[in-house]
Structure 1
Amino acid sequence: MILLVFLAAYLVRRRLDSHDRLNPETLWRWLFHQGRRVRAGHEAGVAVGLTLVFLPALVAALVVHLFDLSGLSVMAYPLEFVLLVFLMGIPGWGATLRAYREAWQRGDMQAAWHHIKDRLPAEHRSTAIAPEAMHLSLSRALMVAVFQRFFLIAFWYVVGGIGLAILARGLVALTEHWPQSSARPRFARLLSWVEWLPSRLLSLTFGIAGDLAGWLRVAGQALSRLGSGAGEVLMLSANGALTGYALDPARFSRIHPEEWTAFGGRSLSAIRGLLNRSMLVWVCALALLVIAGMV
């Protein structure tokens, strides 16, 4: 049933994202509103934030466990389905990428930047950023967002159940929404440990779902960087797995200058296609594990 629950939640979440419905970030921000006030000198503390994430994860895990003990494990599946739908999702990204692609097609890089600036890291929100750097920053942000809100949750749900899935997603939310910004780097360090294995697994999946020969040329470099974050590993692996210089705008502009205005949309389509095929690989792998009785 774990396969059916996840697959149903994934399909529903994708449908909700396409209509920009049920944004889970609102719920996380409401939950973390409890941490808006701290004593002076304790702004970098993480105990309150971790507690706000750990308690719902623990409660969900205990409820599922009690259902199992009582022989009513089937009753836990609707609960897990609803929780997965809330945990996953990137609502709003679709409209952002459409506007960005249209602006790039027109050659209006200022408008393209305006549409995506809130999605970029703080250091890349300058209006003076080059189009190539802007696009690479957006591509990285998109890959990390999809990884953290789909693949990361899927991995920990399969490995440890709904409790670990909530805990992993909660750490992502803490790094983005915790009211005390001085504590966010500490949450990010904890998140890097949670992301380490699933990000490397997704990197391997890129080789299966994309250009294997191209991926093999960068695989050693990507997987050997033990201290690298998920964004760096995924960008390096995706660059090898994608063809047509989809993540090399500078080289694309030199080789195909006449098609430069089409690059933005073409590159984003290639990235989204790679991520979709990678999720299909994960679902197929989960099905094999279920058939083998391992999950």
Structure 2
Amino acid sequence: MSFLVLLLVLWVEKFSAWRGAIQQDGPWLRLLAKAERQADFIESPWLVIVLMVGLPLLALALVLALLEPLAYGWLALPVHLLVLIYSLGRGDLLASLGPFRDSWRRGDGEAAYIVARRDLAVEAEEEGALLKSVQGYLLWQAYQGLFAVIFWYALLGPLAALAYRLLALMAEHAGQEVVRERAVQLRHAFDWLPVRMLAASFALVGNFVAVSRALLHELLSWDISAAQLVINVGRAASDTPEPVIGEAGVSSLDGLWQLMVRAAVLWYTVFALWTLFF
């Protein structure tokens, strides 16, 4: 059933507007803000995490425990699908990059700075650094918005996928610095394995030698962030050239996106074979 859910997610992502309707974070964020204001939680950030992440996971586990024994588990399929869609990243990555691509292709550096700051929250002091930052944005958002979620769903099911997204939301939106720091630490632990698996797949579908050099010293490192690792390895795997303004710069973004697509096809193929033979 898990592989069927993954196929349905691709269909929903490409051909429907369900994702925007399902990914409603407002109620959860309001509860998070309310919990952070409670005196009992101010001194214990772990209680906030247990409340805002642990309780939704417990509720989901109870629902699945009730549904999975019925109708050979097929009644649980819609729950899996809804949870996985909710757990994906927010927004349309390619659409958000559209204005920047258009400005960069025209050679309009000033407009590119403006739309990068407005749409991507990316800033840089000069054109080369700006394009590198946008390349990093593309790789990181594709990883955390899709690959990490699907990885944890395929490995451990919807509970792990939902936990990853709730921690990501808490790391981004928590009002208390100490709560945000704890969420970032937990998310870092969640990212350690999938980001290295993605890096390994980059080696298989991209420049193996360059990836090996980029990954060699960081393979088992706990200190490097997932964002920095996926950016370094992604740029190495796609042989990303030095940043230039114009069509060549836009082509570098296309090359990185195609790298992610090839890696996704590889992992879907592996999961399909695993489902068939095991």
Structure-to-structure mapping, 1:117-128, within 5 angstroms = 117-118=117-118, 125=123
Correspondence list, 1:204-223, <5 A:
204-223=200-219
Paired residue secondary structure (1:103):
helix
Which residue identity is paired with 1:99? P
Task: Tell me the residue number matched to 2:233.
Answer: 237
- Do residues 106 (structure 1) and 106 (structure 2) align? yes
Contact 1:155 1:198 in 2 (8 A): yes
Report the Cα distance in structure 2 between the residues aligned to 1:102 and 1:20, rounded to whole angstroms: 27
Work out the CA distance in 2 between the residues paired with 1:187 and 1:208.
Answer: 32
1:285 aligns with 2:252: no
Aligned residues: 275
What root-mean-square deviation, in Å, do the aligned CA atoms of Structure 1 and Structure 2 show?
Answer: 2.5
Structure 1 stretches of 4+ with a deviation exceeding 6 A read none
Partner of 2:149: 153
Deviation at 1:49, TM superposition (A): 4.1
Report the equivalent of 1:174: 170
Which amino acid is the alignment partner of residue 289 of structure 1? W
Residues 114/47 of structure 1: CA separation in 2 closer, same or farther (3 Å cut): farther
* 8 A Cα contact 1:174 1:184, kept in partner: yes
**Residue aligned with 2:189, SS:** helix
Which residue identity does 1:104 align to in structure 2? W
**2:185 corresponds to which residue?**
189
Distance in 1, Cα, partners of 2:101 & 2:43:
40
Q: What amino acid maps onto 1:266 in structure 2?
A: S
Contact 2:206–2:238, Cα closer than 8 Å, also in 1 = yes
| Conservation of the 8 A alpha-carbon contact between 1:57 and 1:167 | yes
Per-residue CA deviation, residues 178-221 of structure 1 (Å, 9 max, x unaligned), is 23355322211110001100010001011112122332332313
User: Which residue of 2 is the match for residue 30 of structure 1?
Assistant: 27
The 1:236/1:23 distance shift into structure 2, 3 A limit, reads farther
In the alignment, is the contact (CA less than 8 A) between 2:123 and 2:133 conserved in 1? no
Alignment partners' CA distance in 2, 1:140 and 1:102: 18
CA distance in 2 between partners of 1:163 and 1:283 (Å): 20
8 Å Cα contact 1:209-1:274 kept in structure 2: yes
In the alignment, the residues of structure 1 paired with residue 33 and residue 224 of structure 2 have an alpha-carbon distance, to the nearest angstrom, of 31
- Contact 1:24-1:87 within 8 A present in 2 as well: no
What is the alpha-carbon distance in structure 2 between the residues aligned to residue 189 and residue 46 of structure 1?
A: 12
- AA matched with 1:56: P
In the TM superposition, what is the alpha-carbon distance from 1:169 to its structure 2 partner? 1.1
Closer, same or farther: CA 267–187 of 1 in aligned 2, 3 Å: same
- Kindly state the Cα deviation for residue 23 of structure 1 after the two structures are TM-superposed: 6.3
**Offset of residue 282 of structure 1:** 0.9
Q: Name the TM-score, length of structure 2 as normaliser.
A: 0.88
Q: Aligned partners of 1:146, 1:189: CA distance in 2, in Å?
A: 21
Report the Cα distance in structure 1 between the residues aligned to 2:142 and 2:260, rounded to whole angstroms. Answer: 8
What is the CA distance between 1:21 and its match in structure 2?
Answer: 5.9
**How do 1:121-140 residues align onto structure 2 when only pairs under 5 Å count?**
125=123, 129-140=125-136
Between the aligned partners of 1:113 and 1:125, the Cα distance in structure 2 is: 7
Shift, 1:262, TM fit: 1.5
Whether 2:12 is the aligned partner of 1:8: answer no
Secondary structure, aligned partner of 2:60: helix
Q: Is the 8 A contact 2:12 2:19 kept in 1?
A: no
One-letter amino acid matched to 1:282: W
Separation of aligned partners in 2, 1:231 and 1:278: 17
Counterpart Cα distance in 2 of 1:182 and 1:116: 29
Please, which runs of 5 or more residues in structure 1 have no aligned partner?
A: 254-259
Q: What amino acid is the match of 2:253? A: L
After superposition, residues 263-274 of structure 1 pair within 5 angstroms as 263-274=248-259
The equivalences for 1:22-61 within 5 A come to 22=20, 27-37=24-34, 38-39=37-38, 42=42, 45-61=45-61
Amino acid at match of 1:113: Y
Indicate the larger mover: 150-159 or 48-57: 48-57
CA distance in 2, matches of 1:232, 1:99: 25
- Tell me the residue number matched to 1:257: none
